[in-house]
Chain A
Amino acid sequence: MKNIVNQCFFLLLVTCLVACNSSPKEKTETLAVAASNSGGINGVDGNCVAPPEWFNGTVPTPQPQNFPQGDDVTNCDFHLISWQYFLWLTEEVNGKLRFENLYTSNAIHPETKDDTYQVLDIVEQALSKGILIDQHGRAVYSNIMINDIYRDWVLENKLYDPEVFVDFDATADFPVGSMSLKANWKLVQPGEDVSNLYTTKADIQLLTMVDGEPRIPEDNPQIQKDVEVALIGLHIAVVVEGHPEFIWATFEFDGNAPNFKEDASGVVVQGMNDPVSDKNWLLYTANTTARKTNANNAEILEFVDESKQTLTPVTQVARQYAQGGGSSTNRGNIDHLNANAKDQLKKEGSIWENYFEVGAVWFNTEKGVLKPDWNPNVDSTMVTGSLTLSNATIETFTQKVRSQNSCFSCHNTFPVTNVPLSTKVLPGKNANTSHILLKNYQGGGEVKRSN
């Protein structure tokens, strides 16, 4: 069959995208920087900047309960609070970054509710089963963390018990302040220049052959201790007042990977056979053509040397949608705020000047609020911000799949039918946005939604 041009559909889609991108009051006028304090956010679209007090000593604790509502909220506000969380979470507390002190996902169980042992235990990317292999042939690792509000809500409601979760109020929302994180780490190689990266020591689980493929085994994986790792990506998902869907924000290291080319209006026009960049990046070799990037390796991944944990093929990474797409206001705010924040961080000499917000995505609550049985691929009218947001290092392979290229593609309130045969199908509910709960319900492994 041939593909048939249908201009009507194209026009409809463009109309929809434009319409969907606006927050209730996206202010595009250029105004003076609005004052901000630790009690609230008040960003200005078109001139989205971080308050200077964030960079003078202690980062003010974000106040998700005071998040602007209704006519007062701007697109910038969502990016601002995302940046504030990023700065606050990467602040050093008692010799570790604040996020490194958070609970692991094991803490949703009463018996391990205080677990903060953050072993790096994930290599397989969600949905794709692919593993990002860095330029040295090593797998890139992730780990997941939650805060006390998240944990306590799960514990109080006993949602760790599948029998309870399956019957849990479908409309119950995570409380304001609930937060989950996914950090992504590159293993530092001898002699590698990581001077621009945040590095630390971590314990990592090792890969071995599982069902004919290099994977981390579910049971009793081997652990290598005190491996030097560098932070290259950080997902921050947080519930703020009025947004039980979570604001899904993601940050990356500047040097990870190039962006696909865009035209002046932000439409990706990267040629498939054209190089994405003529420079080497941390996860990209100069002059690699676009079609060779983000290639899922799930079916072809092999050990070069299992004892050295080296794998082939190396993944060439590029970011398909700079700023995660969205309206010009959204993209402009992200760029402006990134430049502003980095400028202020640079003055501090902070390592975090080398990181940037890729984007963030949330609901325009005038167009829709979180409800059970919702999936953005069926109804995306309320989704706003960075509509095609992926972290190039965490969702490398799904960037190019239309039904999987947004945070909400996976984190939605649809029923979960891919459960073990002995388990009840999980009805659609608001708490299904949490993959920690879904993974627990499904009995382990990476959560895979039906998109």
Chain B
Amino acid sequence: MANSSLRIHPAIGMARVGNSTEYYLGPETMAASPQEGQALTGGLPIKPGTENTTITSGDLRDAQGRLKRQAARFKIFQYPNEGDKLTFPTQGGEEVLIGSTVDGKKVKDIIWTAHLANKKANCWEIDEDANLGIELYKPHEVTVDGKTMTVSTPPLRNPDFDSTSPQNPYTVNPADTDRLKKLVIDAGPRAIKASQGTTPIKFDNTTQASYYDQSLGAITNQPNYPIQFPATNGSGSNGSDPISYLGEIITEPNGRLLVLGGHGLACAFDNQGNFDASQPLCKDVDNDNWLDDTSDGPVTAVLVFEDGTQQAIEGSAWAVVTDPAYAPQTLNVVNLWDDVYNTWLENFNLQPEVFSNGKYNPEYKPYFQDDIFPTLNSAHMQMWNTNLPDQAISAHERVKLLTEQKPPFDMMKFIRNPDGSQNNNGAPLMPLSLGDANQAFLTVSRQQYFFMEQWNKGMSVGASALPIGEGEQLDKTILVNCLGGRFSPGIDLTFIVRDPDLYNKDWQNPAIGPFRINAEELNYASATKDQPFLGVGYTPLRPDPVQPGDLCKFMAIPWHTDYNSCATHTPAPNPGGDITEKNVYSGTVNTTLFWSWPAQRPVAVYTFNDLSANNGDIKSTKQRFSVRGEGTAAQENLSTPGCPASSGFDTAAMNVGRYQNRRNILTEWVKIGTIMQGPAIDGYPDGFNKDYYLEVESLFDKDDSNLVVFWPNVVDDEVYPPKN
């Protein structure tokens, strides 16, 4: 009888789009984390075909200059003799590769099945006006056409689809078959056998769906699977391209799975679902009549042994395809792990020694290097992606040198309390970036705050590292390298990560493990050509299990417009209300501009070229906007073609560092450079500081944006042309 449990790691893997057919592997070290014996810090992606050789700047683009994709790599780990009930973290664990032995049997092959879909167009809006995040999935009142009604979701995207008259976006049925067929991209499942896995199997509209059929013990094609790629009846124009491909799977010779995503396409369609490139882009997050080729879905595996037996791994992992990582080594002050971990700590009794019975344990001793230092280090790293003033850079550098010893000052005075009491207080409270839903400024997550409080009391002295196995470390690492905190909606995943209903609660079952998505069991054998296979699926704060496409569906549609927008903004909500021409100098409204997602969406960067021109002298090197192509020179009172005129307060200073016409980002995102640490840059001179993180491989030949002026920036600032 088998006595080893098997789990796939990471629990959630992140692939990233690119316009190249080539790829590199996602990072398996934590962004900005010191790596023993190396000048390079963590977070760098990995060269394909290698265990952990990190890429250099020359690996970011292919020979045609196209941005390479990032593959999500999945591994299987075995945990012998775990017993009946898991605790976290799990120590030990050993990777299972082809040739490994599991409970005395040699692994001959691994069969993987993955399924990618995109349900964004049939999802609910983030509702930028309401700005309440997941709260909108609780009963609340709204007024539509003068009538007040109680609803339990935000408005649905594309409410008027296939309709000749305006519909109430709260009453349109997302389970309507027509919507499920025409607004959902569903490539279906694809299975791959590692022994034959060097040929990619594509999630496209010509490759047959396939899956592992347990009853047959083999991969089965499913010709009746209703593969759906809506709005492909046209040819690409002006950033709108038919989407007929969501990615592919491929395996490493040792049996690991790689999941690749799409090429970063966006596709516009008319109200009947026909390709129509003329549709406008009027919003940053919720654009009706648009699709994109990001996706997500479950990953499962079966071990095939030399003796002819097979063992299906009971639990699944999940693949998510999202935006490119333009600053892979810059750690977010609040990362996705912080949010996921917080949810698990506070809802699933994950580590009762840290949190139990609704309270954090005041006797807990956090380990400085793992629990506190990353937050301090992340603050320091922001200088490479933002226009921080000298005093902030110097303060962050100094604070980064603190040790496990009780800090010689009251650090908590600088940290915004996540209890909500300081949501409207900007500087000097940190983090000094824009907040989550209905929160003017960002706060660290509650356990980050707790760990820091304990350290601030001197309780980290002598604390030891929490031993964590390689597999669960990978679960954590992948999420650490993603954006957390500000889910409006975010970049990689959004507020749903704080919903306990998203996860499989049976985590102490060794066959499942923690941080797993509550995946719906999918019976592919039942698929029929004429009926959409996927339904509405997961709805936040509901127990419905999660289907392919249910994670990324809450993200911006298309993702490009939100990426473009989220450079700097004034706080929302603004403590004094909306800014107007007349109250702008009143002092009641906050007119200062702050960063949205600076670590994940770089705003201002130092370029390697500029540093080189200044012989390595960073003080003489001026920052540039990361997004600086033609059409990024900031304008006032933006008017988007085909969209209602904006009536809000709008100045040029509020629009720096982004395309003024959203449409441009659909084609120009491929030109944005990537920030890499000096030693990872090909040709980096020996004499240059190895701790500089510089933009490379930008395809913006000329800086068409504006001069970067260090913070604080306010709405009535003059904007100046860059010094090219």
Q: How far is the CA of A268 from the CA of B590 in the complex (A)?
A: 14
Is A38 in the interface zone, CB < 8 Å from B?
no
Q: Which listed residue, A6, A211, A450, touches B391 by the CB 8 Å rule?
A: A450
Chain B contact-residue range equals 35 or more
Distance in angstroms from B498 CB to nearest chain A CB is 19
- In the complex, the answer to whether B413 meets A414 with C-beta atoms within 8 Å is yes
Determine, out of B349-357, B567-575, B690-698, the stretch whose residues face the partner at the interface: B567-575
Task: Check A4/B129 contact, CB under 8 A, given A272-B584, A377-B425, A403-B712.
Answer: yes
Distance in angstroms from B410 CB to nearest chain A CB is 5
Distance in angstroms from B405 CB to nearest chain A CB is 12
Which residues of chain A come closer than 8 Å to B584, judged between CB atoms?
272
Task: Check A450/B712 contact, CB under 8 A, given A3-B570, A6-B577, A14-B588.
Answer: no
Is A90 in the interface zone, CB < 8 Å from B?
no
Task: Check A290/B716 contact, CB under 8 A, given A267-B586, A298-B709, A299-B707.
Answer: yes
Which residues of chain A come closer than 8 Å to B131, judged between CB atoms?
1-2, 4
Is B648 in the interface zone, CB < 8 Å from A?
yes
Q: How far is the CA of A423 from the CA of B574 in the complex (A)?
A: 38
**A residues 289-315 in Cβ contact with B at 8 Å:** 290-292, 295-296, 298-300
| Most chain A beta-carbon contacts within 10 A, residue among B391, B402, B407, B714 | B391
Is B542 in the interface zone, CB < 8 Å from A?
no
Is B426 in the interface zone, CB < 8 Å from A?
yes
Majority DSSP secondary structure for residues of A touching B: loop
Is B397 in the interface zone, CB < 8 Å from A?
yes
Task: Check A402/B709 contact, CB under 8 A, given A4-B573, A268-B586.
Answer: no
Which residues of chain A come closer than 8 Å to B709, judged between CB atoms?
296, 298-299
Which residues of chain A come closer than 8 Å to B577, judged between CB atoms?
5-7, 9-10
Which residues of chain B come closer than 8 Å to A450, judged between CB atoms?
391-392, 395, 414, 427-428
Q: How far is the CA of A14 from the CA of B391 in the complex (A)?
A: 32
**B residues 520-567 in Cβ contact with A at 8 Å:** 565-566
Is A427 in the interface zone, CB < 8 Å from B?
yes
- In the complex, the answer to whether A378 meets B429 with C-beta atoms within 8 Å is yes
Q: Which listed residue, A3, A14, A299, touches B572 by the CB 8 Å rule?
A: A3
Is A135 in the interface zone, CB < 8 Å from B?
no
Distance in angstroms from A257 CB to nearest chain B CB is 14
Closest to A413 in B: B413
Which residues of chain B come closer than 8 Å to A9, judged between CB atoms?
424, 573-577
Is B401 in the interface zone, CB < 8 Å from A?
yes
- In the complex, the answer to whether B575 meets A10 with C-beta atoms within 8 Å is yes
Q: How far is the CA of A292 from the CA of B129 in the complex (A)?
A: 31
Which residues of chain B come closer than 8 Å to A95, judged between CB atoms?
none
Is A13 in the interface zone, CB < 8 Å from B?
yes
Is A32 in the interface zone, CB < 8 Å from B?
no
Which residues of chain A come closer than 8 Å to B128, judged between CB atoms?
1-2
Distance in angstroms from B348 CB to nearest chain A CB is 31
Task: Check A268/B409 contact, CB under 8 A, given A2-B128, A290-B716, A377-B429.
Answer: no
Q: Which listed residue, B130, B427, B570, touches A403 by the CB 8 Å rule?
A: B427
- In the complex, the answer to whether B587 meets A268 with C-beta atoms within 8 Å is yes
Q: Which listed residue, B392, B575, B578, touches A13 by the CB 8 Å rule?
A: B575
Which residues of chain B come closer than 8 Å to A166, judged between CB atoms?
408
- In the complex, the answer to whether A402 meets B572 with C-beta atoms within 8 Å is no
Is B702 in the interface zone, CB < 8 Å from A?
no
Distance in angstroms from A277 CB to nearest chain B CB is 14
- In the complex, the answer to whether A402 meets B592 with C-beta atoms within 8 Å is yes
Q: How far is the CA of A373 from the CA of B576 in the complex (A)?
A: 26
**B residues 299-339 in Cβ contact with A at 8 Å:** none
Distance in angstroms from A433 CB to nearest chain B CB is 15
- In the complex, the answer to whether B716 meets A428 with C-beta atoms within 8 Å is no
- In the complex, the answer to whether A272 meets B581 with C-beta atoms within 8 Å is yes
Chain A 370-409, CB-CB to B under 8 Å as 1, else 0, gives: 0001010110000000001000000000001111110000
Which residues of chain A come closer than 8 Å to B359, judged between CB atoms?
none
- In the complex, the answer to whether A427 meets B422 with C-beta atoms within 8 Å is no
Task: Check A300/B409 contact, CB under 8 A, given A2-B129, A4-B573, A448-B389.
Answer: no
- In the complex, the answer to whether A428 meets B409 with C-beta atoms within 8 Å is yes
- In the complex, the answer to whether B413 meets A415 with C-beta atoms within 8 Å is yes
Chain A 415-451, CB-CB to B under 8 Å as 1, else 0, gives: 1011111011111100000000000000000001111
Is A150 in the interface zone, CB < 8 Å from B?
no
Chain A 306-347, CB-CB to B under 8 Å as 1, else 0, gives: 000000000000001100010000000000000000000000
Is A269 in the interface zone, CB < 8 Å from B?
yes
Is B488 in the interface zone, CB < 8 Å from A?
yes
Which residues of chain B come closer than 8 Å to A248, judged between CB atoms?
none
Closest to A8 in B: B573
Closest to A128 in B: B712
Majority DSSP secondary structure for residues of B touching A: loop
Task: Check A451/B427 contact, CB under 8 A, given A1-B565, A14-B588.
Answer: yes
Q: How far is the CA of A423 from the CA of B407 in the complex (A)?
A: 14
Which residues of chain A come closer than 8 Å to B710, judged between CB atoms?
129, 298-299
Is B71 in the interface zone, CB < 8 Å from A?
no
Task: Check A272/B488 contact, CB under 8 A, given A418-B395, A427-B410, A448-B389.
Answer: no
- In the complex, the answer to whether A268 meets B391 with C-beta atoms within 8 Å is no
Is A220 in the interface zone, CB < 8 Å from B?
no
**B residues 376-407 in Cβ contact with A at 8 Å:** 389-392, 394-395, 397-399, 401-402, 407
Task: Check A378/B413 contact, CB under 8 A, given A272-B581, A417-B395.
Answer: yes
Closest to B596 in A: A1
Q: How far is the CA of A403 from the CA of B594 in the complex (A)?
A: 12
- In the complex, the answer to whether A6 meets B426 with C-beta atoms within 8 Å is no
Is A273 in the interface zone, CB < 8 Å from B?
yes
Q: Which listed residue, A13, A290, A375, A402, touches B591 by the CB 8 Å rule?
A: A402
Which residues of chain A come closer than 8 Å to B596, judged between CB atoms?
1
- In the complex, the answer to whether B619 meets A211 with C-beta atoms within 8 Å is yes
Q: Which listed residue, A272, A378, A426, touches B585 by the CB 8 Å rule?
A: A272
Which residues of chain B come closer than 8 Å to A110, judged between CB atoms?
none
Is B419 in the interface zone, CB < 8 Å from A?
no
Q: Which listed residue, B129, B401, B425, B585, touches A400 by the CB 8 Å rule?
A: B585
Closest to B393 in A: A418
- In the complex, the answer to whether B716 meets A291 with C-beta atoms within 8 Å is yes
- In the complex, the answer to whether A373 meets B413 with C-beta atoms within 8 Å is yes
Closest to A325 in B: B587
Which residues of chain B come closer than 8 Å to A86, judged between CB atoms?
none
- In the complex, the answer to whether B620 meets A211 with C-beta atoms within 8 Å is yes
Distance in angstroms from B132 CB to nearest chain A CB is 9
Not counting A375-B413, A427-B409, a sample of 10 additional A-B residue pairs whose C-beta atoms are within 8 angstroms of each other reads A1-B596, A2-B648, A4-B578, A10-B577, A269-B583, A299-B720, A415-B410, A418-B390, A418-B392, A421-B398
Which 9 pairs show the lowest CB-CB distances between chains A and B?
A448-B391, A6-B573, A415-B409, A418-B395, A427-B409, A417-B395, A418-B394, A450-B428, A403-B427
Selected A-B contacts with CB under 8 Å, 26 pairs = A1-B565, A3-B571, A3-B572, A3-B574, A3-B648, A5-B577, A6-B573, A9-B575, A10-B577, A211-B620, A267-B588, A271-B582, A272-B716, A290-B716, A291-B716, A295-B718, A300-B720, A377-B429, A403-B426, A403-B427, A415-B409, A421-B401, A425-B399, A448-B391, A450-B427, A451-B428
**A residues with CB within 8 A of B:** 1-7, 9-10, 13-14, 127, 129, 166, 211-212, 260, 267-273, 290-292, 295-296, 298-300, 320-321, 325, 373, 375, 377-378, 388, 400-405, 414-415, 417-421, 423-428, 448-451
